[in-house]
Amino acid sequence: MRLSRYFLPVLKENPSEAQIVSHRLMLRAGMIKQASAGIYSWLPLGFKVLRKIENIVHEEQQRAGHIPMLMPTLQSADLWRESGRYDDYGEEMLRIKDRHGRDMLYGPTNEELITDIFRSHVGSYKDLPLTLYHIQWKFRDEIRPRFGVMRGREFFMKDGYNFDLTKEDALHAYNRHLVSYLRTYERMGLQAIPMRADGGPIGGDYTHEFLVLAETGESEVFYDSAVTDLTFGDRAIDYDSVDQCAAVLEEFTSKYARTDETHDEALFAEVPEARQRTARGIEVGQIFYFGTKYSEAMGAKVQGPDGKTVPVHMGSHGIGVSRLLGAIIEASHDDKGIIWPEGVTPFHAGIVNLKQGDEEADAACEALYASLKALGLDPLYDDRNERAGGKFATMDLLGLPWRITVGPRGLKNGVVELTSRRTGDSEEMPPEAAVEKIAQIYAGIA
Amino acid sequence: MRLSRYFLPVLKENPSEAQIVSHRLMLRAGMIKQASAGIYSWLPLGFKVLRKIENIVHEEQQRAGHIPMLMPTLQSADLWRESGRYDDYGEEMLRIKDRHGRDMLYGPTNEELITDIFRSHVGSYKDLPLTLYHIQWKFRDEIRPRFGVMRGREFFMKDGYNFDLTKEDALHAYNRHLVSYLRTYERMGLQAIPMRADGGPIGGDYTHEFLVLAETGESEVFYDSAVTDLTFGDRAIDYDSVDQCAAVLEEFTSKYARTDETHDEALFAEVPEARQRTARGIEVGQIFYFGTKYSEAMGAKVQGPDGKTVPVHMGSHGIGVSRLLGAIIEASHDDKGIIWPEGVTPFHAGIVNLKQGDEEADAACEALYASLKALGLDPLYDDRNERAGGKFATMDLLGLPWRITVGPRGLKNGVVELTSRRTGDSEEMPPEAAVEKIAQIYAGIA
């Protein structure tokens, strides 16, 4: 993309309404614009990252064997009356009447609707195991929406639901989700630590939240520092293997890691003192096995191999897709702006032309732009007539991981400059070498 | 995908609520399930096609230089009061009050919101031309929703908005949209004819609807049969070229083609009688230049090269993404089921194992499945323990363009059968040849 043809309304001043850095940087970098309280328009740059995150979530869910579908945003109140949640859910549920006066709602989650789909179409254990998921806009009418997309009212979320014959099978689905979530977050350059969560009114031991450590996190967290040494990496895993998935769960959850909701001082005291850590964290996902709560209330039953009809065991598993943009920025920025991890960066590299209009510089930039595109990469070329200082400041704000700087002086020596946004280190090299290096960095990522 | 692991709830009986063939076939093929009146869940097969159509629209919009973004589903009523449409819009607008009693609405379209974004960030002609678009769920509270996704209440639509300094520039944007729409529909295997439309209360000569001919279309259409001979094909076009885009508009709109709303008997009579056609059509898109209606009402102005401030010239351009699934099926089916065009088929080919459990047949199917996937193709393998007749009927209903049938008898002679869903023609060949042929068919499509 050429910046002169893009819509990138960068703000020079810090917007006064933004209390946290991710909100401030998303507004300044022209990624979002508030449409009304807690509701955002995703400007082109923001939408591009949102879509990348969505695609990573899709890929990792499907790799785990989960099946994509899409439920609507508006739901009938009737299903929620069946489960008993229509009255339980407070004012955060946006209730709507249509022109015929029928009670509708903007779905804050989808247990009822997916259970209805399941019970309408599945009647035998032979169709299990089954995990369906979707990525759809949801609405929660937060009384005080704030922190930009981190705590908005209209938000984009992946929610998946497993249906299994037995508790044992459902716990494999639980473990499978945990593994797929670890992979998902790592691809986004995030370390998200699974922490034992509170089962809420349903209770149960089987729920973990995934937290990204960040000073601005809404939760206080307590953990054994050994958990931050764990990485999933590129290990191969067979998602059908009960043992493999269980081993990953064991590895990633056996050390102490809890939020304030489930924190246990006595247990924490057993962690070697040098490894006890307290910090703040942002919740970016949760997995939850809740057994037969909805299947019993709504009659989602299957015939088992013994001919008996039993309610299915279910769980629901969420990833906060729009919230992740905020979390990534909270975890990865400096005082100049965002620093995108390669896996989610909106553009793979920026090209800065130090002297727009200089024949040689323009030609070199065009050639770089074309070479990167020919390799399937997506560069952002700042072809505006602006001072170098302004162009650098914009690129730093946007946070593309790599910048190629092109100027007449370097070109005389046959070189351009390749700069890492994260380290700030620059290196001079011929243009072809810069292209080659960027291609290598993104091989297997882009 | 292996059918045994997919969620494909095929219906044996014709659902009584479906009045038209696309609705019936989408329900029977397990593509959608009604969630409430005019609101559908997209089951995995339906979602897969929806996503393919969405991606084609994205690709063609971006090819034309239009910039993707995303506006929210819920909007504040205030903006609509500014444009004057809050009161004008009737009961089809779903009006909502949030917990603080603020007036909101579920966006039926986005002229107000995009104009607000524009006026907040753009002040100079130097930032023009600009075309922004998004693909987002919309809601129109139809009094009698029917025909499945063809006339639902919650629907998925691409709407794009151009901002230009002059009427002349805006008409180039209009033409550019027309060209991109022609390409878009052809990639989906559809012939959509641009027909002069009614400007409605705004008036104006610059609006065309795109209609797909189908017996169940809601509009009566009148046209010169010569328009159906026109195809865009794979001609190269420079979307920045005013002349090239204008020439395509001229070519595709100079012959008579109108809906009943704009039909002119006298003009129609000038068409050679042998070429006069009357038929029915389904509207799948509309382009519209409306000048300064919103920019004046909402103060979306830029400074021109002469230093004077003027309201921008705008247009809005829509493609009914979810509706297109219905339109494609109306245009492409037979009494056995759907016939997907290659560009949008949910799976590239089906593999039918005539004797599941037979060692040789199973191995041959697995090998075919692996070979197709290795080529980046996406096969659906019917690996269920079912009679051949049932498997064929399912494949015909689903409408995958190509089917490979594998049975012990053929394998003895080293062959499988490749069948075209459209023609019904079958050909025996070695498995490798079938894979090769399918790969060739999808080269440049998939």
Cross-chain residue pair B96–A98, CB shorter than 8 Å: no
Cβ count near A77 (within 10 Å): 18
State the pLDDT confidence band at A9, using cuts at 50, 70 and 90. Answer: very high
pLDDT of residue B66: 98
| pLDDT per residue as tens digits for the range B9-56 | 999 888 988 989 999 999 999 999 999 999 999 999 999 999 999 999
**What average pLDDT score do residues B348-353 get?**
98
| Whole-number pLDDT of residue A433 | 98
Residues of B in contact with A113 (CB under 8 A): 35, 41
- CB atoms A141 and B7 under 8 Å: no
Contact B98 A33 (CB under 8 A): no
pLDDT of residue B446: 57
Residue of B nearest to A93 (CA): B99
What is the DSSP-derived secondary structure letter of residue A84? T
Q: Which of B126, B177, B166, B182 is nearest to B316 (CA)?
A: B177
- Helix ranges (H only) for A29-90 are 44-63, 77-83, 85-88
Contact across the interface for A74 and B143, Cβ inside 8 Å: no
Taking the C-alpha atoms of residue A227 and residue A210, their distance in angstroms, rounded to an integer, is: 12
Condensed to tens digits (0 to 9), the pLDDT of residues A261-287 reads: 999 999 999 999 999 999 999 999 999
Nearest to B96 among A94, A134, A137 (CB): A94
Confidence of residue B201 (pLDDT cuts 50, 70, 90): low
pLDDT grade for A16, boundaries at 50, 70 and 90:
confident
Chain B CB contacts of A96 below 8 Å: 94, 96, 106
Instruction: Label the pairing between strands A402-406 and A349-353.
Output: parallel
Choose the CATH number for B7-337 among 3.40.50.300, 3.30.930.10, 3.90.600.10, 3.10.20.90: 3.30.930.10
SS3 category, B285: strand
Whether A309 has a pLDDT exceeding 70, the answer reads: yes
**Shortest Cα–Cα distance, A352 to chain B (Å):** 19
Q: Which amino acid is at A398?
A: L
Mutate to test the interface with A, among B2, B32, B36 (most CBs of A within 10 A): B36
CATH 3.40.50.300 assigned to domain A347-442? The reply is no
C-beta of residue A337 within 8 angstroms of C-beta of residue A354: no
CB-defined contacts A:B, below 8 A: 151
Nearest chain A residue to B42 by CA: give it: A70
Average pLDDT of chain B is: 96
Distance between CA atoms of B129 and B176, rounded to whole angstroms? 12
CB contact under 8 A, B113 and A5: no
- The one-letter amino acid code at A90 reads G
- The residues facing A337 across adjacent strands are A334
Q: Tell me the nearest-neighbour CA distance from B128 into chain A, angstroms.
A: 8
| pLDDT value of residue B368 | 98
Within 8 A by CB and 6+ apart from A171, the residues are A206, A289
The CA distance from A128 to the nearest CA of chain B, in Å, is 8
Give the mean pLDDT of chain A. Answer: 96
Q: Do A94 and B98 touch (CB under 8 A)?
A: yes
Write down the pLDDT at residue A200: 73
**Which regions of chain B carry the CATH code 3.40.50.800?**
347-442
- Domain A3-337 in CATH 3.30.930.10: yes
Which of chain A's residues have a Cβ under 8 Å away from the Cβ of B36? 74-76, 78, 102, 104
pLDDT at site A204: 65
Q: How many whole angstroms separate alpha carbon B177 and alpha carbon B426?
A: 40
CA-based nearest residue to B316, from B334, B341, B289, B346: B289
Q: Whole-angstrom Cα distance, residue B179 to residue B165? A: 21
Model pLDDT, residue A17: 86
Quote the ipTM score.
0.96
Mean pLDDT across the stretch B364-385? 97
% of chain B residues with pLDDT over 90: 94
The pLDDT of B300-310, averaged and rounded, is 97
Non-local (6+) Cβ contacts of A356 within 8 A are A362, A383, A384, A385, A386
Contacts of A247 (CB under 8 A, 6+ apart): none
- Say yes or no for a CB contact (<8 Å) between A9 and B68: no
Order the strands of the A94-97 sheet from edge to edge: A74-76, A103-106, A94-97
**Are B44 and A67 within 8 A, CB to CB?**
yes
Buried b (16+ CB within 10 A) or exposed e, A396-431: bbbbbbbbbbbbeebbeeebbbbbebeeeeeeebeb
Beta-carbon separation of A154 and B40 below 8 A? no
Query: Best interface-test mutation with A: which of B31, B99, B118 has the largest number of A CBs within 10 A?
Result: B99
Q: Which two tokens stand for residue B23?
A: 């609705």
Min Cα separation B81/chain A (Å): 14
Residue B282's pLDDT band (cuts 50, 70, 90): very high
Tell me, what's the pLDDT at A56? 98
Q: Start-end ranges of CATH 3.30.930.10 in chain B? A: 7-337
Q: Per-residue pLDDT for B204 more than 70? A: no
- Chain B closest CA to A29's CA: distance in Å? 12
Closest alpha carbon to B325 in B297, B346, B301, B309: B346
CB–CB of B42/A70 below 8 Å?
Answer: yes
pLDDT of A199 over the 80 cut? no
Q: SS3 of B13, please?
A: coil
- Give A-chain residues touching B76 at CB under 8 angstroms: 35-36, 39
Q: Which of the two residues, A17 and B212, has the higher pLDDT score? A: B212
> Residue B315, SS3?
strand
Q: Delimit the CATH 3.30.930.10 region(s) of chain A.
A: 3-337
pLDDT tens-digit series, residues B377-433: 999 999 999 999 999 999 999 999 999 999 999 999 999 999 999 999 999 999 999
User: Which chain B residues contact residue A137 at CB under 8 A?
Assistant: 72-73, 137
State the best of B11, B13, B39, B69 to mutate against chain A, taking most chain A CBs within 10 Å. Answer: B69
Secondary structure in 3-state letters for B414-444: CCEEEEECCCCCEEEECHHHHHHHHHHHHCC
User: Residue A43: its chain B contacts at CB < 8 A?
Assistant: 69, 117
Helices (H) and strands (E) in chain B, counts: 14, 23
Which residue out of B7, B31, B240, B325 would a mutagenesis test of the A interface target, given it has the greatest number of A Cβ atoms within 10 Å?
Answer: B7
Chain A hits for B58, CB-CB cut-off 8 Å, are: none
Contact B104 A36 (CB under 8 A): yes
Alpha-carbon gap, residue A54 to A48, rounded angstroms: 10
Helix H or strand E segment including A170: helix A167-187
- pLDDT attached to residue B202: 61
Q: Is the pLDDT of residue A446 over 70?
A: no
Nearest to B73 by CA among A111, A48, A366, A74: A74
User: Which tens digit of pLDDT belongs to each residue from A352-363?
Assistant: 999 999 999 999
Q: How far apart are CA B239 and CA B172, in angstroms?
A: 9
* Interval B121-136 mean pLDDT: 97
Q: What would the pLDDT profile of B163-193 be if each residue is shown by its tens digit? A: 999 999 999 999 999 999 999 999 999 999 9
**What pLDDT score does B203 carry?**
61
CB-based contact A42 B91, cutoff 8 Å: no
Nearest to B283 by CA among B125, B419, B147, B400: B147
